[in-house]
Amino acid sequence: MSSTIRAHHNMDAQELVLSELQSIRLSKGLAPIHIDDKSILLGGELGLDSLDLATLVVTLEELTGMSPFSAGFVMFKTVGDLSALFSKS
Partner 1 sequence: MDWLDASSFRLVENQRTLALTELRLLLRDIVAKSKANDALVLDGQSVQAVILGLLACLDTGQSVFLVRDQAAMPLGAQWQGNQDWQLIAAETANSAPTLWLQTSGTTGLPKWVPHDPRRLCQTISKGVAGKAVWLLTYDPASFAGLQVILSALIGGHTLIYSDIRCQPAALVELALQNRVSHLSGTPTFWRSLLRAADGATLSLQHITLGGELADQPTLDMLSSHFPQARIRHIYATTETGVVFHVQDGLSGFPSSWIDTTLPNDIHLALSERGTLLVSSPRMRIGLDKTVIDTGDVIEIKDERAFFKGRVDSMINIGGQKVFPEEIEAYLLRLPIVVDVRVSSLPSPITGAILIADILPREGHGSAAEMKRAIQEHLKGLPRHARPVLLRFNKELPTLSSNKKARFT
| Contacting residues for 16 by C-beta, under 8 A, at least 6 apart | 60, 63, 64, 83, 86
Angstrom distances, CA of residue 50 to CA of 9, 31, 44: 27, 19, 12
Q: In this complex, which beta carbon is closest to partner 1, that of residue 8 or of residue 50?
A: 50
Measured from the CB atom, is 10 or 59 closer to partner 1?
A: 59
Q: How far is the CB of 36 from partner 1 (least distance, A)?
A: 21
**Of these, 53, 64, 77, 81, which contacts partner 1 (CB under 8 A)?**
53
Please report, as ranges, the residues that interact with partner 1 according to CB under 8 A: 27, 50-51, 53-55, 57-59, 61-62, 69, 73-74
